[in-house]
Amino acid sequence: MSALTGSVIEAVHKEYPGYELHTIASALSLIAGCIVFALGMFRLGFIVDFIPLPALAAFMTGSALNIAMGQIPTLMGNRKYLDTRESTYLVFYNFWKQISHCNLNAALGLTSLFLLYLIRFICLRASKRFPTKEKLFFFISTLRAVFVILLYLLISWLINRNDPQHPRTALLGTIPRGFQNMGIPYIDRPLLSAFASYLPSTVIVLLIEHVAIAKSFGRINNYVIDPNQELIAIGVTNIFGPFFGAYPATGSFSRTAIKSKAGVRTPMAGVVSGVLIILGIYALPPMFYWISQASLAAVIIHAVGDLIAGPQTLKRFWQVSPIEFFIFWIGVIVTIFSTIEIGIYITVISSGALLLFRIAKARGQFVGRVQVQQIKLSVDNYIRLTTRNIYVPLDHSDGSNPTIIPASAGNGIFIYRLNESFLYPNANHYVELMIEQIFRETKSGKPNMYGSLGEQPWNLKTSRHPEKDQQKDDPRPCLHALILDFSGVAHLDITGLQNLVDVRRQLDCYADKKVNWHFVGLSRPWLKRALISAGFGSSEQGHTVFSVANVYGNIDGDENNTNIVLIPILDINRPLFHADLDEAYEAAIASLPQKDKSVVFDNGMV
């Protein structure tokens, strides 16, 4: 957040030099805080779920590399010879061009960095060797930055105390005491328009950092966060902070980790931290003057180094999703060669495009029945418990054993499973695959679907005279029924429903009769309501097959007489809505004319 704020302030100040730097920072914080606060108040915290882990990791890694590379010239003492606000690759290139200008600061910076990693290494090894003192070593490791700053503050004072106006090493310099810029933040239209284009990236970073930290420590400490509450909290912080001269602020991994290990459970810890910080900025500024910039740069580099995605993380990305692995690297590379905000936009947009593509290309599966037996293994034998039917894809796309051949429904009956919601991006893709296989495995109900050649569409992918291509003894059955497994469908929109209506009309014309559509696994009332509104669920033949459950009830009013009552699971007025695939298949078979029953399931056999 600090790096992004610095780049925004620099860009706005370059375009509008009349605004002071703290004025730009306060105005940016106030506007971004209002936006985040409004998102929380309107219960829009769920939008943070649209920022995936690869985008977050790319942002953290790219930002860490950007910050670390910007601090290396300070660490080595040649910062005044190059612009550290440029793109990361330019800073890297110019640093090596000016490497000859490194000075005594490099000795302080490199030894500080080495000491930081040495203390952490020793504490990690000691905590494993002495697990009873793990918390003690954790706090020692956490305080290593304070120890290094104080140690090199003393060294810096010893080196430069004789001539503080012309120091031999770079010093932090004079730090104003207390709140120097308290007041009402100044915002006008030119200033607002100047940083308006940076607001989306600022808000995204506020959300990413804060919610990511909250979620990670929520998992560690076994509690669930409310994203809306977090957005309101971070919004209020950035609304009131500018009145004290603050710039945009968000969560901190290091502070959260320390408080988590210390056993903090309430926001009162923030009050204590705030009081100590106020005391520090009023009482300690004279001491801050002697802080070595090189050692401070070492602390910053050491801190952001932990944010870079490690080999194990990258390996997991590759194993889970190679496409998201490449999105991660695209985000990192764009951040290195351009700016942090462009890297954020690229990763979020790329992840969103991938999500839409996956939704649009959702695939259905034709499934067949397999009879399975559940067994219980013992030491020297096994016991058969139950026998039941399951339905697996005919092409084994779910990873099922390829030596097991599922029995297809046959008799012109198809069982089609949808694995995702049936929405406008994927509706056409779903039905195209379904229709293609139905046409391939069945024959038309009439030789020529069109009365004359003039009625046949010019773009139809068939012969101009299809009746000549008809086989005299075509063994394929005519289409009779379609069973749709909606167990994986949570939503059905208007476009998806219209696609079902259009396909129903197309298949009725193809079969030259009314094709029954059976539905299984309708998990929400709105799905049933939508299908009923389009005429699905009803049948002229009534409800011939349906499932019932045993219910113990008192029918005669006698408290001592309890009877078993058979209750239908679903509404019997909708005979084409079924409880499971077995029921749907039996209902489809029951409606099949006797002369067309050539292949029928019998205890899982064909």
Q: Tell whether the model's pLDDT for residue 122 goes beyond 50.
A: yes
Strand partners, 478: 443
Summarize the confidence of residues 422-445 as an average pLDDT: 89
**CA-to-CA separations, 479 to 202, 507, 581, in angstroms, rounded:** 58, 8, 18
Q: Tell whether the model's pLDDT for residue 204 goes beyond 90.
A: no
Q: Tell whether the model's pLDDT for residue 599 goes beyond 80.
A: no
- pLDDT for 251 equals 79
- pLDDT for 466 equals 58
**Each residue's pLDDT tens digit, 548-578:** 888 876 555 555 556 777 788 887 788 899 9
Q: Say which amino acid occupies 229.
A: Q
- pLDDT for 135 equals 84
DSSP element (H, E) containing 467: helix 466-469
Q: Tell whether the model's pLDDT for residue 220 goes beyond 70.
A: no
- pLDDT for 238 equals 92
Question: Confidence band (pLDDT; 50, 70, 90) for 604?
Answer: very low
Strand partners, 417: 365, 485
Residue 413 DSSP one-character state? E
Token output for 496: 């998806």
**Each residue's pLDDT tens digit, 494-541:** 999 999 999 999 999 888 889 999 999 998 889 999 999 999 988 877
Say what the pTM is: 0.77
Give the whole-angstrom CA distance, residue 417 versus residue 198: 45
Contact 516, 482 (CB under 8 A): yes
Quote the radius of gyration of the chain (alpha carbons, Å): 35
**CA-to-CA separations, 184 to 23, 125, 176, 515, in angstroms, rounded:** 10, 51, 19, 72
* CB neighbours of residue 111 within 10 Å: 17
Query: Where do the domains of the chain lie?
Result: 2-360, 411-446+476-596
**Each residue's pLDDT tens digit, 284-329:** 888 889 999 999 999 888 888 887 888 998 999 999 999 999 999 9
Give phi and psi for 191, each to the nearest 5.
Answer: -65, -40
Give the closest residue to 228 by CA, choosing from 210, 249, 205, 252.
Answer: 210
Q: How much of the chain, in percent, has pLDDT values that exceed 70?
A: 88
Strand partners, 392: 368
DSSP element (H, E) containing 578: strand 577-578
Give the closest residue to 475 by CA, choosing from 443, 445, 447.
Answer: 443
Contact 598, 566 (CB under 8 A): no
Residue 309 DSSP one-character state? -
Give the closest residue to 339 by CA, choosing from 8, 2, 27.
Answer: 8
How many CA atoms lie within 13 Å of 224's alpha carbon, on the beta-carbon side?
Answer: 1
- pLDDT for 368 equals 92
Q: Say which amino acid occupies 339.
A: T
Residue 408's SS3 state is coil
Torsion of CA 244, 245, 248, 249, to 10 degrees: -50
Summarize the confidence of residues 416-442 as an average pLDDT: 91
**Each residue's pLDDT tens digit, 334-368:** 989 988 888 888 988 999 899 999 888 888 899 99
**Tokens 């793990």 belong to which residue?**
134
Contact 397, 464 (CB under 8 A): no
How would you label 420-431 residue by residue, b for 16+ Cβ within 10 Å and e otherwise? bbbbebbbeebb
Give the closest residue to 344 by CA, choosing from 208, 481, 532.
Answer: 208
**Each residue's pLDDT tens digit, 578-596:** 989 999 998 888 888 765 5
CATH number of 411-446+476-596: 3.30.750.24
- pLDDT for 470 equals 60
Question: Confidence band (pLDDT; 50, 70, 90) for 605?
Answer: very low
Q: Say which amino acid occupies 319.
A: Q
Cβ contacts of residue 448 below 8 Å, gap of 6+?
A: 466, 467
Summarize the confidence of residues 75-92 as an average pLDDT: 88
Cβ contacts of residue 97 below 8 Å, gap of 6+?
A: 82
Contact 249, 29 (CB under 8 A): yes
Contact 64, 308 (CB under 8 A): yes
